[in-house]
Structure formats: C-alpha cells, structure tokens
Amino acid sequence: MSEPTIIDGKATSAAILDEIKAEVDALKENGCQPGLATVLVGDRPDSATYVRMKHARCQDVGITSFDTKLPGDVTQDELLAKVSELNADPAVHGILIQLPLPSHINEETILSAVSLEKDVDGFHPLNIGKLAMKDREPTFVPCTPRGCIELLERYHVDIAGKHAVVVGRSNIVGLPVALMLLHKNATVQICHSRTPDLKECVQRADIVIAAVGKARLIEGDWLKQGATVIDVGMNSIDAPETKRGYRMVGDVDFESAKAVAGAITPVPGGVGPMTIAMLLRNTVDGAKRTCAQK
Amino acid sequence: MSEPTIIDGKATSAAILDEIKAEVDALKENGCQPGLATVLVGDRPDSATYVRMKHARCQDVGITSFDTKLPGDVTQDELLAKVSELNADPAVHGILIQLPLPSHINEETILSAVSLEKDVDGFHPLNIGKLAMKDREPTFVPCTPRGCIELLERYHVDIAGKHAVVVGRSNIVGLPVALMLLHKNATVQICHSRTPDLKECVQRADIVIAAVGKARLIEGDWLKQGATVIDVGMNSIDAPETKRGYRMVGDVDFESAKAVAGAITPVPGGVGPMTIAMLLRNTVDGAKRTCAQK
Ligand SMILES: NC(=O)C1=CN([C@@H]2O[C@H](COP(=O)(O)OP(=O)(O)OC[C@H]3O[C@@H](n4cnc5c(N)ncnc54)[C@H](OP(=O)(O)O)[C@@H]3O)[C@@H](O)[C@H]2O)C=CC1
Ligand SMILES: NC(=O)C1=CN([C@@H]2O[C@H](COP(=O)(O)OP(=O)(O)OC[C@H]3O[C@@H](n4cnc5c(N)ncnc54)[C@H](OP(=O)(O)O)[C@@H]3O)[C@@H](O)[C@H]2O)C=CC1
C-alpha cells in the first residue's frame, strides 16, 4: 500500500497566482488595469471572510478591487441599481455577487442582471448553456469547477476514457464540473441525495468529485484502489481541542481515503484556494478581452 | 419471460395531437391563431421529408404553418435576414430551422439569432442553460428529449431514484435528455464513443436512452432484466426485400431486447412521432404566452 499523491491546492494556487501576477504586470504596462468588484449583502461572518480573502488575493497580484457592502434589508431594486452601476463602470472587469443572498431577494434575477462580459462567477444561464453544449465557448467557466479541473490537469490525471462520479448536482459546483468532465471525454455519472446506492457508484469511479456538504460522508472503503479524489466539501465540525472550537473537514474521510486513493486533495488546502485563484484568472481574462476591444 | 410493454409512440403522439387540437380550437375562439414557421435550406431529401411531415401535422391540429425554402448556396446574411423577419412577424409563434445547415453557414450563429420566445426547438444556449440549472424554467424544452420524458411519464415509468444511462451526448438529444432525467431525480450516467465499457454501463441501468446513430448497437444481453428502453436512433439499413430497398432500425436490437426489457419503444413508431408532437406542443405554448401578453 503506497502513499497517495497529495494534490496540493495551496501550492498549485500559489503558482497560478504568480502566473497571474506576471500577466497583470504586463497588462498594466499596456495601460490595462484589471478590476474586480465584490458585492456583499448583509453581515454573514463566513461571507465577509470569503470577500476579505478575495480582496487580499487581488492585492497580492495587482488587481484593483472594489468593495460594495449593502445592508441585509437592501431592496432588490437597490441591489439591481448597484449591479447596473458596476456593469457600466469601465474600471470593473468582473463582478462577484457573494452568495447566499438574503431570502427576500431573487438570486436568479440578480445573477442574470450581471453583464455577461463581467460574470466572472460564470453563473449566468447563458454561460452555463454554452458550458453544457458541445462546441460552444462559455465566456467564463465557474471558479470552483474550473479549480477542480485545473488540479486534475496540473497533476496529469487522465480524464478521457475514465469513469468520473460527481456526488452533488448544484448549479455552482456539481453540475458544471460534471459537464466539464464530460467535455473532456470522461464517462460521467451524477449522483445526489436521491441516489439509492451511492457507495456502489463511487466504487466504480476512477475520478471522484465530492461536492455534497456532508462531513466525511465518503469513506476509504467506498473507493476503487488508486482512484483520484477531489474533495470540494467544506464542513465545520466541533473540535473542542482547538482554540476556535471547530475545524474544517471535507466530504471525504481523508484518513481512510488516503489508504486507498491514488491521489487526493486535503481539506483545507485543496479545492478552496483554487477557487479564488480561478476567480482572479477569470477577472484577468475578462480585462484582457475588454482592453483588446479598445 | 413475460412480454414487455411496447411503448407506443404513434398512439401516444396521436392522443397528444388530439389534446393540442382541442387547445388550438379554444385559442382560436379567443382570437389567438398559433403559427409555426419552418426554414429549409438546400435540397436534402430527408430534411424535405421532415419539414413536409411537420406541415402536415400542423394542418391536422389547426396550426398555421409558414414554409420558407432557401437555396443551398444562400449566404449566412440572407439567412439571418430571414430569421429576423420571422422574429418580427406576429403571426409566427415558433421558428424551426431544419438541421443540418450547409457547411458554409455557422449553425451556432443562426440558432442564436432565433428569438428566445420563438425557439420552439429549444436549442438556444440560454434555453439549454436554464434547462441545465436547478430551479430555472427554460422557455422551451427541446422536442426529442421532451418526447422521451413524455413517453416515460405517460407509461408511468418511475424515474426518481432510478439509474438512467444515456448513450450519446449530442446537444439536441443526449445532453438535454440526461439533464431532464437528472432534474426528475434519476441518477444519470452519460456514455459516449469514449466510454470503454458501454455494455457494463448499460447493464446497470433501470432506464436506457439510446441516442447514438448506430444500427442495433445495443443488444438484449446488454440490458438489465425489466429495464425500460427508449430508442431514439433512426438508422437506415439495406433491406433488398422491401420496395424502397432500405428500412429504419433503432440503436437497439429490438428483437433480442424485447426478451429482456420491461418496456421498450419500437423504431419506427416510438420516439419519432413524439418529436413532432412536442414541436406542436411548444408552438402552442409559445402562442399562449404571446397571446396572454396582448
Ligand atoms: N472549496 C470551495 O471553494 C467551495 C466549497 N463548497 C463546498 O462544497 C460543498 C457543496 O456545495 P454546494 O454544491 O454549494 O452544496 P448544495 O447544498 O447546493 O448541493 C449539495 C449537493 O449534494 C447532494 N447531497 C446532499 N446530501 C447527499 C447525500 N447524503 N448523498 C448524496 N448526495 C447528497 C445534494 O443532492 P440534492 O440535489 O438531491 O439535494 C446536492 O446536489 C459544501 O460543503 C460547500 O461548502 C462550495 C463552493 C465552493
Ligand atoms: N426520433 C427522432 O425524432 C430523432 C432521432 N434522432 C436519431 O438519434 C440518433 C442520435 O442523434 P444525434 O444525437 O443527433 O447524433 P450525434 O451523431 O450528434 O451524436 C451521437 C452520439 O452518440 C455517441 N456515439 C457514437 N458512436 C458510439 C458508440 N459506438 N458507443 C457509444 N456512443 C457512441 C457519440 O459520441 P461522441 O460524442 O463521443 O462522438 C455522440 O455523443 C440518430 O440515429 C438520429 O437519427 C435524432 C434526432 C431526432
């Protein structure tokens, strides 16, 4: 039983951020300054943390970031007006609406209002449609799914002709990553809460993508020997021994999975840092397109 | 070994056409006359036949049909101008561009030019995006996939919690039908030409959708006992004993499959007639929406 490859999202994302920084430097020399706007509604501490991290990474690579904070009781029309303003702002190349939005706001309406050219999250239905279809080019690829694929590719994991099982079918992770694996010629099975025999499905997978949101659901004996495991899950569990009283674990039980998998992402330090790197990647791609049109 | 249920697309589509005729009669009484425009480019005999059949069914149910025939060497701009004209025509509620288009024309450009409100084929990427995403409502559902689901539902085949295997991943059949089965809570596996062990995949399916275009590829011993088989394939094979010299068969070997399947569609007389019925269904749905807005 050999040790598996640990797919290091932290190191990989750091390398990607270096690449992005070099690109941003070159763009700036040509008078193109990439900019990302974030919109945070309400005061969820986790959302605030994510937004803060995004701004910090922007700063690291030289992307200007614009910070919009709106109160939790903002009206949908006020939020739409803000989105229009950012759509029209030539200094902004990407707009990120931090989810979830408060329940009185229609998420679909807001996300569809973001200009397609600035939809760095890639959640616009037109974008998802092009992602889904053969021979169409989406303007932006959603960040977390793109991060998963990037990890597979940078670790030279074969996708074509392999069996991939995606557990989870959300619009932001499970569904788009499944579509991307399909276009890369994997045979893809999409599992979810109504799958009766999840363990048996996972056991047949060469590549497992776990995007469920259930701490350590997938155990080592669910895996095929040598499988590649990408664990998207971020679940906080009680950890009285730590200072904060909790810690983050994935949807995969890392300890038992490590003994069977051929390669596996840890949580934290796997997909998480890749998501932000891909957000910056999308922002720079957007800036490049806009500047080239000038 | 009991006889399987033969899923009769001819009888089912006839029943649907009756329902549509009753709806069209009621709409007309309210001053709403549904209209479908077809656009045929070039002189492929198969395409001409399909278009003719669509017009004949329109006539049966009282939908006005508009027939545009363009020469095979029409320019892309001329075709686009025609599409704009039909987009603007208030008597037209659905526009069907008969595929395939000649190779000098960009299919994506033409299909994206069809007004979303008249895209009765459901091939617009925005429509496919909404079909792909959870909790979004596409304006139109593509006809052949919708016909497959309609057959399953009218024959009371359970979908939720079942294993569905879709063989084929084209934009017009395999991909959308897989997405629809997923939203109906099947666990869905999408197979294609790069799937190494197609037979083993099909063997695990409670529901098989075959949309491959290979005559009788799937044989009886590939099926799980009692599986439901929807055969989308339409392949012509030599048949010197017939007057025409050829006959149509599906992607499934009907004779051997019949002995194992619990329910199966024949070819012809399965999915084929459902496709036209769903096109008329979409046209009437479009007309209803437009007339309601007046
Ligand atoms: N690392 C990162 O950057 C990111 C991490 N995440 C994390 O990824 C995880 C998934 O996120 P997200 O997709 O937004 O979550 P959602 O809650 O939107 O979707 C979860 C999916 O998992 C399925 N599911 C739930 N329970 C089970 C079960 N017992 N067995 C099989 N499937 C199940 C659900 O099925 P059904 O559809 O039937 O309800 C659903 O499709 C979370 O832990 C989240 O924190 C998310 C985004 C970014
Ligand atoms: N009844 C009706 O109304 C309609 C019937 N049809 C019929 O349905 C069939 C499919 O049509 P369409 O989707 O347009 O066809 P496409 O040729 O666009 O797609 C065929 C799909 O089958 C896959 N495939 C090809 N060979 C194999 C193989 N040996 N094993 C596994 N998968 C394979 C291809 O894989 P890859 O992606 O890797 O190339 C592709 O995804 C055709 O027979 C067509 O005539 C189509 C539309 C309407």
Q: What is the CA radius of gyration of chain B?
A: 19
**Got the DSSP string for A219-230?**
-GGGSPTT-EEE
Cross-chain Cβ contact A179/B132 below 8 Å: yes
Residues A107-117: b if buried by 16+ CB within 10 A, e if exposed: bbebbbbbbeb
CB B154 within 8 A of CB B148: no
pLDDT digits (tens, 9 = 90+) for B109-133: 999 999 999 999 999 999 999 999 9
Cross-chain Cβ contact B189/A194 below 8 Å: no
Name the residue of A191, A234, A237 to mutate for ligand 1: max ligand atoms within 8 A of Cβ: A234
DSSP tally for chain A: helices H, then strands E? 10, 11
Q: Which residues of A touch B194 (CB under 8 A)?
A: 160-161, 185, 187
Residues 6+ apart with CB under 8 A from B145: B173, B176, B177, B180
Q: Which residues of B touch A190 (CB under 8 A)?
A: 182, 187-189
CB B62 within 8 A of CB B35: no
Q: Which residues of B touch A185 (CB under 8 A)?
A: 192, 194
Q: Is it true that A31-117 and A142-272 share their CATH fold?
A: yes
Alpha helices in A118-263 (DSSP H): 125-132, 143-154, 174-183, 198-203, 254-258
Q: What are phi and psi of A279, to 5 degrees?
A: -60, -45
Cross-chain Cβ contact A170/B134 below 8 Å: yes
The CATH superfamily assigned to B31-115 is: Leucine Dehydrogenase, chain A, domain 1 (3.40.50.10860)
Residue type, A93: H
What is the structure's pLDDT at B234?
Answer: 96
**Which residue from B131, B187, B196 is facing A189, i.e. has the nearest CB?**
B187
Residue A41 Rama label (left phi>0; alpha psi -120 to 50; beta): beta
Residues 6+ apart with CB under 8 A from A219: A252, A253, A256, A257
Q: Could you say which architecture CATH assigns to the domain B142-272? A: 3-Layer(aba) Sandwich (3.40)
- Mapped onto helix, strand or coil, the DSSP state of residue B96 is strand
Q: Which residues of B touch A175 (CB under 8 A)?
A: 132-134
- Whether pLDDT at A293 is above 90: no
- Please indicate whether residue B279, judged by its CB atom, sits closer than 6 Å to ligand 2: no
CB A57 within 8 A of CB A276: yes
- Whether pLDDT at A59 is above 90: yes
- Beta-bridged to residue B37, according to DSSP, are B66, B95
Instruction: Say how far apart CA B287 and CA B20 lie, in whole Å.
Output: 12
Q: Could you say which architecture CATH assigns to the domain A31-117? A: 3-Layer(aba) Sandwich (3.40)
In the sheet that B35-41 helps form, which strands lie side by side, from edge to edge?
B64-70, B35-41, B94-97
Q: Which residues of A are catalytic?
A: 54, 98, 121
Q: Tell me the mean pLDDT in the region B90-98.
A: 97
Q: What is the dihedral of CA A242, A245, A246, A247, to 10 degrees?
A: -20
pLDDT digits (tens, 9 = 90+) for B149-199: 999 999 999 999 999 999 999 999 999 999 999 999 999 999 999 999 999
Residue A209 corresponds to which tokens in the numbers above?
């993508």
Alpha helices in chain A (DSSP H): 9-29, 45-61, 76-88, 107-113, 125-132, 143-154, 174-183, 198-203, 254-258, 271-293
Interface of A with B in 121-140 (CB under 8 A): 124-136
| Confidence band of B2 (pLDDT split at 50, 70, 90) | confident
CA dihedral sign of residues A20, A21, A22, A25 = positive
Q: List chain B domain ranges.
A: 31-115, 142-272
User: Long-range pairs for B78-81 at CB < 8 Å and ≥24 separation?
Assistant: B79/B39, B79/B41, B79/B105, B79/B110, B80/B109, B80/B110, B80/B113
Burial class (CB in 10 A: 0-12, 13-18, 19+), A26: exposed
Q: What is the dihedral of CA A241, A242, A243, A245, to 10 degrees?
A: -90
pLDDT digits (tens, 9 = 90+) for A63-118: 999 999 999 999 999 999 999 999 999 999 999 999 999 999 999 999 999 999 99
| Confidence band of A2 (pLDDT split at 50, 70, 90) | confident
pLDDT digits (tens, 9 = 90+) for A119-171: 999 999 999 999 999 999 999 999 999 999 999 999 999 999 999 999 999 99
Q: Which residues of B are catalytic?
A: 54, 98, 121
Residues 6+ apart with CB under 8 A from A67: A37, A38, A40, A51, A55
CB B168 within 8 A of CB B211: yes
pLDDT digits (tens, 9 = 90+) for B26-66: 999 999 999 999 999 999 999 999 999 999 999 999 999 99
Angle ∠(A284,A286,A288) on CA atoms, nearest 5: 70
What is the structure's pLDDT at A294?
Answer: 74
Name the residue of A13, A148, A167, A173 to mutate for ligand 1: max ligand atoms within 8 A of Cβ: A173
Pocket of ligand 1 (CB under 6 A): A 144, 167-170, 172-174, 191-195, 198, 211-214, 217, 232-235, 271-272, 275
- Mapped onto helix, strand or coil, the DSSP state of residue B146 is helix
Q: Is the CB of A6 inside 8 Å of chain B's CB atoms?
A: no
Residue B185 Rama label (left phi>0; alpha psi -120 to 50; beta): left
Q: Is the CB of A99 inside 8 Å of chain B's CB atoms?
A: no
Instruction: Say how far apart CA A209 and CA A159 lie, in whole Å.
Output: 12
| Confidence band of B1 (pLDDT split at 50, 70, 90) | low
Nearest residue in chain A measured CA to CA from B163: A195
Q: Is the CB of B196 inside 8 Å of chain A's CB atoms?
A: yes
On the question of a cis peptide bond just before residue B145, with omega within 30 degrees of 0, the verdict is no
Instruction: Say how far apart CA B202 and CA B206 lie, in whole Å.
Output: 9
Measured in angstroms, how far is the CA atom of residue B211 from the centroid of ligand 2? 5
Residues 6+ apart with CB under 8 A from A272: A9, A234
